[in-house]
Structure 1
Amino acid sequence: MKLPTTEATSVGIREFRAAIAEYIDADRPITVTRHGQTVGLFVPLRRPSAEDIQRMTTAAADFRKAVPLSDDEVEQMVADFDALRRGQPLPQRSTDK
């Protein structure tokens, strides 16, 4: 997936509105100004190419081979992550298998 560069192009709000279709396809962020003052930042999101998607699919398959988890284990991990993110204690679980 092609990521935007960090160097932004600065344009006035009228120019931005007039050429928004071009800016959507841009490779870099756009700083939008009004009367010389920055009023916004537009960061175009690039869609991944077929090659990028294939690389991500292959990496996911390789990960599943290296770390085989059941659907229940994945759901448990997601629930634990949500609890920790909210500052809640993890539920007590039996360690017997």
Structure 2
Amino acid sequence: MTATKVGIREFRASLADYIASDTPVAVTRHGQTVGFFIPAKADLSAEVAALQSAAATLDALIEEQGLDVEELMEDFKAARREARR
């Protein structure tokens, strides 16, 4: 697998794309290679399963308490605004 050469500005601007890619990247500055980025693929299935479980638990708690999701969101947004002050 050969590395793709990109300038540092392009690399910074497209970092999310390079992270999602399987291709190593040679990062250049003024035409000189200054480093390499080698994306590491991780198995995220455990994290996804944990998030799905947490979402199901939250949904059950909201239903059990008879709460309105829209009201909860508005309360949350108001609390965040207040915390920033």
- Point out which structure has higher relative CO (alpha carbons under 8 A, 6+ apart): 1
Higher helix share: 2
Q: What TM-score does the superposition give when structure 2 sets the normalisation length? A: 0.49
